[in-house]
Amino acid sequence: MIRFNCDYSEGAHEKVLEKLIATNREQTQGYGVDPYSMEAKKLIKRLCGREDADVHFLVGGTQANLTVISAGLRPHQGVVAADTGHIHVHETGAVEACGHKILALPSKDGKITAGQIEDCCRAHREDVDREHTVQPKMVYISQSTELGTIYSKEELAEISSVCRENDLLLFMDGARLGYALAAPDNTLTFQDLACFCDVFYIGGTKVGALFGEAVVISHPLLKEDFRYLIKQKGGMLAKGRLLGLQFLALFEDGLYMEISRYADRLAGQLREAFREAGIPFLVENTTNQLFPVLPDKVLEEWKGRYSFAYQQRVDEEHSAVRFCTSWATRQEDVDVLIEDIRKIWEELEKEEM
Amino acid sequence: MIRFNCDYSEGAHEKVLEKLIATNREQTQGYGVDPYSMEAKKLIKRLCGREDADVHFLVGGTQANLTVISAGLRPHQGVVAADTGHIHVHETGAVEACGHKILALPSKDGKITAGQIEDCCRAHREDVDREHTVQPKMVYISQSTELGTIYSKEELAEISSVCRENDLLLFMDGARLGYALAAPDNTLTFQDLACFCDVFYIGGTKVGALFGEAVVISHPLLKEDFRYLIKQKGGMLAKGRLLGLQFLALFEDGLYMEISRYADRLAGQLREAFREAGIPFLVENTTNQLFPVLPDKVLEEWKGRYSFAYQQRVDEEHSAVRFCTSWATRQEDVDVLIEDIRKIWEELEKEEM
Amino acid sequence: MIRFNCDYSEGAHEKVLEKLIATNREQTQGYGVDPYSMEAKKLIKRLCGREDADVHFLVGGTQANLTVISAGLRPHQGVVAADTGHIHVHETGAVEACGHKILALPSKDGKITAGQIEDCCRAHREDVDREHTVQPKMVYISQSTELGTIYSKEELAEISSVCRENDLLLFMDGARLGYALAAPDNTLTFQDLACFCDVFYIGGTKVGALFGEAVVISHPLLKEDFRYLIKQKGGMLAKGRLLGLQFLALFEDGLYMEISRYADRLAGQLREAFREAGIPFLVENTTNQLFPVLPDKVLEEWKGRYSFAYQQRVDEEHSAVRFCTSWATRQEDVDVLIEDIRKIWEELEKEEM
Amino acid sequence: MIRFNCDYSEGAHEKVLEKLIATNREQTQGYGVDPYSMEAKKLIKRLCGREDADVHFLVGGTQANLTVISAGLRPHQGVVAADTGHIHVHETGAVEACGHKILALPSKDGKITAGQIEDCCRAHREDVDREHTVQPKMVYISQSTELGTIYSKEELAEISSVCRENDLLLFMDGARLGYALAAPDNTLTFQDLACFCDVFYIGGTKVGALFGEAVVISHPLLKEDFRYLIKQKGGMLAKGRLLGLQFLALFEDGLYMEISRYADRLAGQLREAFREAGIPFLVENTTNQLFPVLPDKVLEEWKGRYSFAYQQRVDEEHSAVRFCTSWATRQEDVDVLIEDIRKIWEELEKEEM
């Protein structure tokens, strides 16, 4: 069985692991104020071109999402997000459990637009009964999105601008940020993110680390007392250096982007193979997640050989599924799958004859 | 200015007020365990044919909604509701502030169907990642709905049955229950409600009382410790008898249904007038709320004379608005409005010529 | 049975009721923006000497407490209060249900001191692990306290000053504010309260109204969007004018203070009688609550004749109980009780002989 | 600088790390349902003699505490704990942020007694106003406690019995469970814990793992849907096997108890040295935490050489501090400290002469 169902099937990149091994018996202070965490934070701030930013390492994505959102909102305020957004559909109501409504906007491709956000704010502002409704105060976007698409620099700039005009905080979930920034059509840099967003995070769990996300905060309101919130929400690791060390390994010599590009390249090979076989996609994208629409009988046949994630039924004989590559995907496994994709094509050809 | 914008513009029915005046200097125990509250509870239980039910008087609708929902759900559970539901759009996120997600189902007329609920439960059950999503555990419906429509006995029976099969609690918001039960096409009784729902409430605020909703609980899980929750959520009135006395007045000799019928009858007159004038409705219904789609210029003209609630834009020249009647609406005011409706018709006629 | 157990056994002062009756069939806008509410707010602002203050009418005390505290705190912040404070012991965890810890300080007489608050803040500030503890951000005091005692102008000034130095919001629960301001040894005015506190409320429920508390906010942070919070927490009355009208009656010609003084005077008569009978008090105070320490056999004997609240066991043969007077207490009932108090004295005298 | 301030200064035991390294590139399913996690769960269930128990691996202690407490309580219910309990003083209000009050009982040595719990329940039950107070529903104890003391089998049996009689859930925080079970005077086994407690956890973070706590649930109410809660609270690790693997290493051949005994033995050497030097303890205990009361000038002198945790001021010249040993403490470091302890004794001797 070869796993393509997600990008967290393996452990960590060897360089990350080595760092943990090399420092294992050292004694450092707990809770993320050790020298390694400090060093990793410095690296990330430099990369973002924001010495004034605050960087915090959290254990995982849901944790990061709920902590950031809690930190930024008053009780009557909500967070605007795509209806496909992870916080809306895949975190067991974590945001609501912190007291906040998600104001979901319809999305076909995982993205929302500046225009949608503007409309949402205007509708609220113009509603005479607005005090009876949740006040939009933060925007949550994912880069790459849950459907593997990415925001361009222009799109992000527009969203950022609408947010500032409407006094909304802009929060980017970067659980798969590496795969977005490494995409062939990417137009954004870390500096751009730190400039356009009030807060975003650099996902480690899915990009080479054992676990961990680096939250980068540039907005003063969110910076204040953020560590209290990390602790309260259960995300403050006693041995905080474990997170610092991993991000140090990922960022001290470009490993993060290197392995992200690798994963995107493998995804590209698969994308090409599906395309050549005439397989359409539920949504077009250029990152490490692919959503081919496949005949159910092919999926049935593949079940024993590959793991993939079921996405949705498309018609009576076809379903969209998700295949992911990651920093850990092996070229040889991709080659095996490409072979099988070609076979579909041949079979479908025959059937049509 | 004649107010038709809502059904809570006046004080209370005179019989309700008289009860408060007559007992004003009496001394009774606080917090709803006084003889008047006890008597009113007994009346309501009898009316519902459920001596085993628990009845509690709460101050208002949002209060009742959040208290009932809090009482019935564990943290990872959510409440299924129409996307037009009051809890979803007009309570400033009160349910989310108690930690729970609202699982909104699309609705054109304010109602949801047994089939939609069944699909929602099946989708959850069949999702291999269901632990990453909110578990549906309660269904919230309004009778009449926010769009003035009502569930028939057959529809409610089906919903109730789906709820029981799927281990969901069924909760009916009865802020406008009187106007639903008094509707010409109503097929439900209080006994039916107490039988089909696990919990529902009889709205007083909009039907003759100064304020107050009578929550009727038949499900044991919800009964347990409910008064602790009322107190915690701030809904336990120190002078609880004020609520008991009002419901006593409303239910000791049929006042509640009598004034509800009166309001529905007036609404019927307006409905007829709009229809005769060729005015379409956003949604067809038979209760005390009307949603005519009117030319913007008529609305502009009427603004100084009537208060009505803006509902939504329909096209470039028309908007849907809400007119309400209530127990307190005066026949003479309705007559004045009917006159004006006829004038529209005449004007529209002329224009077309 | 004569009720002395609390100050909410009756309805409302007649002048309050008259106002409701006189306006009953008038039509006004809902949710507290009607002319009567506006007028009442203006009166209260003038009384407080703060045209810039915001005034909101809420249904009850627990409601007011949880709404104000929610409005003022971020998730990691807590509220400092006496361990006898109503929010700590008698609101079923309403504050915690909104996510906040109460940092309880020990109190013998219901009051806390500026020194205690200062110590609490210093301890937090100096704790190297303070991010692992709840940050004190608000101080909650009651005037009069749950034990009937009152803060002097000097004490309140000191507390206010410590709060400002430590960036804490000062919140005064005034459920029994009238009885505090009417006390013979009171040194505070409404203006003082509005000056020393960031937010406080003027209790109506226990002082002449059917229900309702007037929240007076002077701090900008708390003012912002406060109505959203009232709605979310279920405290926004549809027929908001009911609250406005009651406070209008209480404040348009001095009724509030007049009836408060009346209640305190009756309490003074009882206090004097207990004292003459040699009955000690659990705590000394000058307002409408008395906490005599009585022989259990006397309490047993009185049980059928008076209702009073059990406070605590003092020794094997004595218990402290609470007797309250209110605006509604009748002089003749007080006289009857005084007679009975004198009898105790005579009996105790005899026993000792 | 030698660190004795806590038991989480180093990484993981080598055997734990080896397991992670050996399996690093393997592909497994995410979220804790991989074969390693399954195997580890089986081991732990067997150890506890409870095949029917559920075992879940969570990232950290605060996470585990808030998830278990959320899972077990309805909104109006609270958790009884020592006022020294970690949840009460060192988790930034995590439990309150989930909506629940902590009912703190006074404790001198970190423990609470069955009698205290019984009194608390009786007081609630007998309070006529109990609906206005938080209902005790769970008891939280730590083993070893925050002061290094341990419950004996007899004490735990009594607490368990009181809990069952009063329908309370018993929850044991075992962040330092190894050091408790390895203590020379320990009388409890894993089987006892699984029998007496409704839920407890086996701490990994402080006992040989990089991070992770194994929650063992025997009560059906808590078992139900527990994984939904883990996900919602942000504690479900994507690469769940990392936790399973670590607990596998700790429990497949007795490593957990072995390294716990080692730490306790070193603590015993330090305890003996302090005692010989005439240094008293804030509290007597037999586990890996020591709380000597030392002259401030000694602490000042030691500051550059050792890290230790400040506990509290004892008198003008003495403070209690905490020294911890752990699985990772080196014998040679203990020897160095013992030397220094002896020097104090000599100096103190001299001074007295």
Q: Do D11 and A20 touch (CB under 8 A)?
A: yes
Q: Is the pLDDT of residue D150 over 90?
A: yes
CA atoms within 13 A on the CB side of A126: 9
Residue with tokens 């609305």: B299
> Tens digits of per-residue pLDDT, B84-122?
999 999 999 999 999 999 999 999 999 999 999 999 999
Cα distances (angstroms) measured from residue C8 to each of A119, B240, C11: 49, 10, 8
Axis-axis angle for helices A35-48, A241-251 (nearest 10): 40
* CB contacts, 8 Å: B75 with chain D: 70-71, 98, 229, 232
At D71 the pLDDT is 98
Taking the CA of residue D101 and the nearest CA in chain A, the distance in Å comes to 15
Domain map (residue ranges) of chain A: 14-253, 256-352
Q: Does B29 touch chain C (CB under 8 A)?
A: yes
Contacts made by residues B314-317, CB under 8 angstroms, sequence distance 24+: B314/B282
Contact A239 D205 (CB under 8 A): yes
Q: Does domain B14-253 have CATH number 3.40.640.10?
A: yes
Burial pattern D114-125, b for ≥16 Cβ within 10 A else e, equals: bebbbebbeebe
Share of chain C above pLDDT 70, in %: 99
In chain B, the DSSP E strands lie at 2-3, 54-58, 77-82, 102-105, 135-142, 169-173, 199-203, 213-217, 289-290, 293-295, 306-307, 309-315, 318-324
**A134, A308, A312, A322, best to mutate vs chain B, most B CBs in 10 Å:** A134
- pLDDT confidence bin for D30, thresholds 50/70/90: very high
**Residue A101 near chain C (CB below 8 Å):** no
pLDDT on residue B344: 82
Instruction: Tell me, yes or no, if D35 comes closer than 8 A to chain A by beta carbon.
Output: no
Residues in CB range of A229: below 8 A, 6 or more apart: A67, A70, A71, C75, C76, D92
CA distances from B284 to B108, B172, B290, C346 (A): 11, 21, 8, 78
Q: Is the per-residue pLDDT at B287 higher than 90?
A: yes
Which of A92, A132, A310 has the CB atom closest to B91's CB atom?
Answer: A132
Identity of residue A66: L
Closest CA in chain D for residue C88:
D133
Task: Give the residue among A69, A147, A72, A60 at the shortest CA–CA distance from A112.
Answer: A147
Percent above pLDDT 70 for chain D: 99
Question: What confidence tens digit (pLDDT) does each residue in C121-157 have?
Answer: 999 999 999 999 999 999 999 999 999 999 999 999 9
**All partners of chain A with 3 or more CB pairs under 8 angstroms:** B, C, D
* ipTM value for the complex: 0.96
> Pick from D318, D311, D259, D313: which is nearest to D288 by CA?
D259
- Taking contacts as CB-CB distances below 8 angstroms, the residues of chain C near B30 are 6, 8-9
DSSP letter assigned to residue D254: S
Q: What pLDDT shows up at residue B39?
A: 98
Q: Which residue of A76, A132, A228 is in closest CB contact with C76?
A: A228
Cis peptide before A144 (omega within 30 of 0): yes
Residue C156 contacts B where some CB pair is shorter than 8 Å: no
The three-class DSSP label of residue B217 is strand
In this structure, which amino acid lies at residue B308? F
User: How is residue B281 annotated by DSSP?
Assistant: B
Distance CA C259, CA C264 (A): 9
Q: Which residue of B61, B98, B237 is in closest CB contact with C60?
A: B237
pLDDT at A351: 74
Nearest to A24 by CA among D13, D22, D260: D13
DSSP assignment of B79-91: EEEETT-HHHHSS
> Of the candidates B26, B210, B328, which has its C-beta nearest C242's C-beta?
B210
3-state secondary structure of D310: strand
Bond prior to B144 in cis (omega within 30° of 0): yes
Q: Does domain D256-352 have CATH number 3.90.1150.10?
A: yes
How many Cα atoms sit within 13 Å of D41 on the Cβ side?
20
Q: What pLDDT is attached to residue B285?
A: 98
Cα separation of B83 and C28, whole Å? 29
SS (H, E, C) A257-310: HHHHHHHHHHHHHHHHHHHHCCCCECCCCCCCEECEEEEHHHHHHHCCCEECEE
For residue A204, what are the contacts with CB-CB under 8 A and spacing of at least 6?
A: A211, A212, A213, A214, A243, A246, A247, A250
Give C22's contacts in chain B (Cβ within 8 Å): none
Helix (DSSP H) and strand (DSSP E) numbers for chain C: 15, 13
Contacts of D76 in chain B (CB under 8 A): 225, 228-229, 231-232
CB-nearest to A237 from D60, D67, D92 is D60
Task: Name the pLDDT band for C350 (thresholds 50, 70, 90).
Answer: confident
* Close Cβ partners of D282 (under 8 Å, ≥ 6 residues apart): D147, D291, D292, D293, D311, D312, D314, D320
Residues of chain A predicted below pLDDT 70:
352-353
Check pLDDT > 70 for residue C292: yes
pLDDT band at D353 (very low <50, low <70, confident <90, very high): low
Distance CA C86, CA A37 (A): 44
C27–B94: do the CB atoms touch at under 8 Å?
A: no
Render pLDDT for D235-244 as a digit per residue (tens, 0 to 9): 999 999 999 9
Q: Cβ neighbours of residue D24 under 8 Å, at least 6 residues apart?
A: A10, A11, A12, A14, A17
Give the whole-angstrom CA distance, residue B105 versus residue D159. 47
Tell me the C-alpha distance between B303 and B4, whole Å. Answer: 11
What integer pLDDT is reported at residue D345 of this predicted model? 76
- B133 closest CB neighbour out of A76, A78, A92: A92
**Contact status, residue A238 vs residue D60, Cβ threshold 8 Å:** yes
Does residue B352 carry a pLDDT above 70?
no
Q: What is the mean pLDDT of residues D200-222?
A: 98
- Per CB-CB distance under 8 Å, the chain D contacts of A228 are 92
User: Which residues, in sequence order, are bridge partners of residue A83?
Assistant: none
Nearest-angstrom CA–CA distance, A113 and B283? 31
B78 with A100: Cβ contact below 8 A:
no
3-state SS assignment for residue A144: coil
The verdict on C90 touching D (C-beta cutoff 8 Å) is: yes
Contact criterion met (CB below 8 Å) for A296 and A318: yes
Q: Which one of C63, C210, C232 has the shortest CB-CB distance to B97?
A: C232
Tell me how far apart the alpha carbons of residues D134 and C151 are, in angstroms, rounded to a whole number: 28
At a CB cut-off of 8 Å and minimum separation 6, what does D232 contact? A62, A91, A92, A93, A94, A97, B75, B76
A121 vs A80: CA distance, rounded Å: 10
In the stretch 222-241 of chain D, residues with CB closer than 8 A to chain C read none
pLDDT tens digits, one per residue of C236-256: 999 999 999 999 999 999 999
Q: How far apart are CA B306 and CA B270, in angstroms?
A: 14
Query: Is the minimum CB–CB distance between D166 and chain A shorter than 8 Å?
Result: no
Q: Which of B99, B135, B231 sits opposite D131 (nearest CB)?
A: B231
Domains A14-253 and A256-352 share a fold: no
pLDDT at residue B142 is higher than 70 = yes
Six token digits for residue A312: 């949705």
The full DSSP string for C276-326 is HTT--BSS---SSEE-BEEEHHHHHHHTTTEE-EEEEEEETTEEEEEEE--
φ/ψ of B42, rounded to 5, equals: -60, -45
Chain D residue with CA closest to A227: the answer is D92
State the chains in contact with D (3 or more Cβ–Cβ pairs under 8 Å): A, B, C
Answer yes or no: do A78 and B93 touch at CB < 8 A.
Answer: yes
pLDDT, average across residues B291-305: 95
For residue C275, pLDDT over 80 is answered with yes
Confidence of residue C353 (pLDDT cuts 50, 70, 90): low
**Cross-chain Cβ contact B24/C17 below 8 Å:** yes
Q: For all residues of chain C together, what is the average pLDDT?
A: 97
